[in-house]
Amino acid sequence: MSSEERRGGPAAGNAEGAHGRPAVRPRTMMVHAGHGPDPHTGAVNVPIYLSSTFAQERPGVHKGYEYARTGNPTREALERHIAALEGGVRGFAFASGLAAETTLLSLLKAGDHVIVGDDVYGGTYRLVEQVFTRLGLAATYADTSDIDAFAAAFRPETRMVIMESLTNPLMKVSDLERVAEVTRAHGAWLVVDNTFLTPYFQRPLELGADMVVHSATKYLGGHSDVVAGLVVVKDEELGQRIHYLQNAMGAILGVQDSYLLLRGMKTLALRMEAHAENARRIAQWLAGQPWVTRVLYPGLPGHPGREILARQATGFGGMLSFDAGTPERAERIVSRTRLFALAESLGGVESLISIPARMTHASIPPERRARLGITDSLVRISAGIEDAEDLIEDLARAAGE
């Protein structure tokens, strides 16, 4: 299925229904989906409404806005935009990816059980394990790429599954349609963290997920200048529940960051294509180096997840990992690159490099890291949108004696 066919489907029709605009192809959607010119002034960009409160004509009679935690037009434009891109009915913007996850987990109550992907973002693991289990939630960590192991993790009180369809740094791929089937059969909600593929490459709601969550800090923002989280839900009932929690818990995204994020998201299509092409070329080059013992990129032939993503996504993303052979070489490379910044995070226009075991995944206990295969010689790359030749030369220079 071409990306055009996939994205011209029923979900694009949702976007159309909500805003009276024609169903369009992915790149057009990235620019136009959730908002048009400002009806009052014609401004092509959504104004930044710096107003914490909104005047009412009579008590309870207003223009749709009362108090900006509950709703603000700038944030709402962003929320409509992400809902349209993901093919959902409602979107919600939060102060960070983890604020979004905190709000989602608050759908649950003490005694409920949640299944979490065993290779999820370290902060997700920490949130569940250190915060929510203290409040009485039970959690099991399961490999969602192994359907039988995953299915065995369900309990009668399992209410939610949280997973990433493409994980990092190990680049494990899960069959979302099968994960969704099993989850539905157990009457639980499937939450997919779509930070890595973004709706440009994969739309989990169309594959059976109930909710999508993003660290918009990464690819959606795309310029390493905003921290934000987004949620999209598949139906109005969940929409009402999340809106209730968003307002009740208050972890909303501010209006200036909402504007920045909207601005970044308009170029998502162009950026994702450039990130993925650079990741593919770097992965290919690394695979030919004698000192590299393993390259993990789902777009490389032979990667176990390649076939699933070829069916359920329209691209392989911009992240890759490789084993530099020894921790010493890994450290040398990440300390000597000049174009790749040694930094946590990912998804910005600039390339980043890191050692997950010592940085992003340091909050995972060492035994658990070892069991998962996150070794001290594993190097993670977030491919930016620079010239691939320059990035490869930088790596070659850094790896040299």
Q: Which of 145, 202, 217, 377 binds ligand PLP (CB under 6 A)?
A: 217
Contacts of 134 (CB under 8 A, 6+ apart): none
Smallest distance, ligand PLP to C-beta of residue 63, A: 32
239 binds ligand PLP, rule: CB under 6 A? no
313 binds ligand PLP, rule: CB under 6 A? no
Smallest distance, ligand PLP to C-beta of residue 1, A: 26
CB atoms under 10 Å from CB of 202, counted, come to 24
Q: 14 or 217: whose CB is closer to ligand PLP? A: 217
Q: Which residue has the tokens 């409404």?
A: 49
119 binds ligand PLP, rule: CB under 6 A? no
Segment lying near ligand PLP (by CB under 6 A), choices 59-67, 121-129, 149-157, 259-267: 121-129
> Site residues for ligand PLP, window 122-141 (CB under 6 A)?
123-124
User: Is 218 one of the catalytic residues?
Assistant: yes
Rounded to whole angstroms, how far apart are CA atoms 250 and 242? Answer: 11
Q: 183 or 195: whose CB is closer to ligand PLP? A: 195
Catalytic residue among 218, 280, 329, 369: 218
- Phi, psi (deg, nearest 5) at residue 253: -85, 135
321 binds ligand PLP, rule: CB under 6 A? no
Q: Which of 46, 98, 105, 114 binds ligand PLP (CB under 6 A)?
A: 98
Contacts of 175 (CB under 8 A, 6+ apart): 145, 147, 308, 312
Rounded to whole angstroms, how far apart are CA atoms 325 and 351? Answer: 22
Contacts of 362 (CB under 8 A, 6+ apart): 122
102 binds ligand PLP, rule: CB under 6 A? no
User: Is 119 one of the catalytic residues?
Assistant: no
Catalytic residue among 112, 118, 193, 394: 193
**Burial of 345 per CB tally in 10 Å (0-12, 13-18, 19+):** middle
164 binds ligand PLP, rule: CB under 6 A? yes
Segment lying near ligand PLP (by CB under 6 A), choices 29-37, 106-114, 215-223, 294-302: 215-223
Q: How far is CA 327 from the centre of its chain?
A: 29
User: Is 141 one of the catalytic residues?
Assistant: no
Rounded to whole angstroms, how far apart are CA atoms 56 and 368? Answer: 55
> Site residues for ligand PLP, window 52-81 (CB under 6 A)?
none
34: left (phi over 0), alpha (psi -120 to 50) or beta: alpha
> Site residues for ligand PLP, window 177-196 (CB under 6 A)?
193, 195
Helix (H) or strand (E) holding 239: helix 236-249
Segment lying near ligand PLP (by CB under 6 A), choices 58-66, 81-89, 119-127, 361-369: 119-127
> What tokens appear for 182 in the block?
């099993």
Rounded to whole angstroms, how far apart are CA atoms 191 and 120? Answer: 12
104 binds ligand PLP, rule: CB under 6 A? no
User: Is 387 one of the catalytic residues?
Assistant: no
Q: Which candidate, 368, 390, 320, 341, places its Cα nearest to that of 167?
A: 320
Q: Which of 128, 227, 395, 398 binds ligand PLP (CB under 6 A)?
A: 227
113 pairs with which residues across the strands?
138, 158
Chain residues in the site for ligand PLP (CB under 6 A)? 96-98, 121, 123-124, 164, 193, 195, 215, 217-218, 227, 229
Residues labelled as active-site residues = 69, 121, 193, 218
